[in-house]
Each structure stands twice: as C-alpha cells, then as structure tokens.
A and B are shown apart, each in its own frame.
Chain A
Amino acid sequence: MNIVLAIILGVVFGFALQRVGANNPQNIINMLRLKDLHLMKAIFFAIGISSAGLFLLMALGVISSGHLSVKSSYIGVIVGGAMLGLGFAVSGYCPGTSLTALADGRKDALFFVGGGLIGALLYTLVYGSIMESWLFAEIAGGKVMLATGSEKFEPLLPMVPGALLATAIGIIFMLIAWKLPEKV
C-alpha cells in the first residue's frame, strides 16, 4: 500500500513540476535574476494554498497531525541553504527538478545529478567530523513551527490558534503570488 502511494504521489509531484515549468533551468535562472517571476508566483501560491488547506483540514480532523514532520532549525540550515542557493543560481536546478528534468531529456541535468551524488557522498563522509560543531547549534529550540496543531512539535506562537495563523500566512502568500509582477 505504501509503495502504491509512493508511486501515485511521486507521479503527481513529478507531473506538477514538469507542467509548471520548474524542470526548465531557464525559468529558475530568470526567477533568481528577477526577470520572470512566473515560478516565484506559482511557488508562493502553492505554499500559501497548501498551508492554509493543511491546517484547516487538520482542524477538521481530516488530516492527522501525526503526518507532520518538522525539521530541526540550526545554523547549518542557513549555511547549507546558502550553498544550495549558489549552485541553484549557477545551474538552474535543485535536487528535485534535476531528476524530473532527466525526463525532459536534458543532458545538463544528467551532469547535475552526477555531481549531486558526489556531493551527497562527500557530506556522508565528512558528517562524522562536523557533527559536534557549531554548525549544528540549534536555533529557537530546534524542531519548532510557528503555528499550533501538532503534539510532536512546539509552536513558537502558542497564543494564536494554528489554523487561524496558518490560514492568515497562507492568504498573505497567495496575495503575494497574485500581486507580484510576471515579467520585470
């Protein structure tokens, strides 16, 4: 059952990435050099609507909060994010879209994936020597989210009901998506 779900959900996600144009490094690079914000608008809209939908459906009991998986916050999230950002800007690929770009027959994506396997291996090899370092110093308690709604993860803003907060943030994201200019 789990494997059937993996196939269905993976196909839906790959389909969506291809159809929104995220496989195309031209779109990513033009988004990052602030020329064509088509993808930025789509991403803001996707996050906004899925976030509002998730917290509303959790409040209604349709989605189990046990499915949430909040990642830890530590210095390395920002440092690693910046490293990823540099490579993302140069290549126009991120890990997910480099794989789905293979399905478009993009040859440069093949080189990115090859490099990615090396990069992941390098990290696997060095992790043991950096695991105790400042890079893993936690920020704000580690596995935290802004909204309430989970029993596993601490909310940073416990005074506001999670569904309300997440819906408000979601609406702001959707408004940004709507108001951002398409071509700059």
Chain B
Amino acid sequence: MSGQLNWFKGGLLLGAAFLLAVAFVKPIGVSTQFVIADGIIWNLFSDTIVQVNPDSKTGYSSANAYLNKSDGKYAENIANPINYSFIFVLAMIAGAFISSRIGGPTPTSQDRTAPLVWRQRFGEDPAGRYVTVFFAGILVLFGARLAGGCTSGHMMSGMMQTSLSGYLFALGAFAAAIPAAVLIYKRN
C-alpha cells in the first residue's frame, strides 16, 4: 500500500477539495451525474425525454417526472452535457488517474478483481464478486437518488454546511452499513 497518505494529510487534502469547490462554485456532488449519463444515452433514442420548452425557467422540460423536476434542470443538463457538474465528475476520474501515475497507491492485479477481504471470505473467483457488486451498484444509486445525494453530496458536503439532511443521511447510511459489513465479512 505504498503511496497512501495518512489520515491527517489525506483528510487535509480531502477537506481542501470540498472547501475549494464550495469557495469557487458550489458543494461537491456525484450521484446526480449517473442520472445525467443515463439521460444522455436515453436522449439518443427518444424525442420526449428532453424537450425545448420556452415556458420552463431552464428552457427545457421532460416527459419524465424526475428529469422534469426543478423546472427541467436535469433535462437541461442532459441537453448540454458540457456543464459544470458533469465535467467535474469526468475530471475526478482524470484526477485519480494522475494520482495513481505519480506515486499514489496502486492495486495488485488480484486487487483489481476483488479486495483481499472479499477473496478471503468468498474465494478467488471474480464472477461472484462482479455479479454482487453489480447489484450493489443498483441499490447504491437507487438509494442515493431517493436520498437526494450520496456520500459526497449529502454526507461530506452536507455535514460541512451543517445541513440537517447530511446528518440524517450519515445516520441512515452507517446504521445499515456497519451491521451489514460486520455480518457479511465478520470482524476477524
């Protein structure tokens, strides 16, 4: 695990990222962009999912209730993928790539299929890991959209702003995650 920062330096860097984002633009959030990515693909096959609508405040509306929410804000971002929030999330991947190339922690080829704790518990075959993680992804993003944010937007950005929703989200998430992790992976 070469290259991983200790909690103090790592926390400082992470805190700086959240503070800089709100100082210059707005609080960090990620999970909405999964909806935008879906919408960009969906929009290739549908004429109703994004509609130009001069009566809407954003200039866009959608036949879908969720994409039409907040005056068609999501429909607007789907119509214009080069917007702050979507590019931010793509740039995150680039940032992680840069870090891994200039001395950040790098996983072994086995770690790239499943973490050690999974392999010790469920064996080396990656197929089970891939299927399980796929369903976990469905659950996580469905949950994040229901909650209105994820670990970045609700928990980190939310608690940074002393937002009540951030505390409620963290409570719900950890009350489920800690017992689940202890039950699934055991403590030793």
Give the complex CA separation of A97 and B8 in angstroms.
19
Residues of A within 8 A of B85 (CB): 6
Contact with B along A88-126 (1 / 0, CB 8 A): 111111111111111111111101111111111111110
Query: Contacts A85-B172, A116-B141, A182-B7; is A63 near B23 (CB within 8 Å)?
Result: yes
Give the complex CA separation of A128 and B62 in angstroms.
12
Name the CB-closest residue of A to B90.
Answer: A10
CB-contacts of A56-93 with B (<8 A):
57, 62-63, 67-74, 76-93
Residues of B within 8 A of A91 (CB): 132-133, 136-137, 140
Query: Contacts A71-B154, A84-B144, A145-B164; is A120 near B17 (CB within 8 Å)?
Result: no
Query: Contacts A123-B141, A177-B11; is A90 near B136 (CB within 8 Å)?
Result: yes
Which of B10, B111, B156 is within 8 Å of A24, CB to CB? B111
Give the complex CA separation of A37 and B85 in angstroms.
30
Minimum CB–CB distance for B88 against chain A, Å: 4
Residues of B within 8 A of A21 (CB): 1, 4-5, 10, 105
Contact with A along B128-145 (1 / 0, CB 8 A): 011111111111111111
A114 touches B152 (CB 8 A): no
Residues of A within 8 A of B143 (CB): 79-87, 119
B10 touches A16 (CB 8 A): yes
Size class of the B contact interface (CB-based, 8 Å):
35 or more
Question: How many interface contacts (CB-CB < 8 Å) are there between A and B?
Answer: 503
A119 touches B137 (CB 8 A): yes
B133 touches A124 (CB 8 A): no
CB-contacts of B130-188 with A (<8 A):
130-166, 168-178, 180-182, 184-187
B15 touches A47 (CB 8 A): yes
17 interchain pairs, CB-CB under 8 A: A9-B21, A10-B87, A17-B95, A21-B105, A68-B27, A69-B161, A81-B173, A85-B173, A87-B140, A88-B136, A93-B136, A94-B151, A95-B141, A103-B100, A115-B133, A120-B31, A124-B67
Other 18 A-B pairs with CB < 8 A, given A93-B136, A111-B130: A9-B21, A19-B13, A23-B105, A24-B111, A26-B115, A51-B160, A55-B162, A73-B168, A83-B147, A85-B173, A85-B180, A88-B136, A108-B114, A117-B37, A118-B138, A119-B145, A120-B34, A124-B39
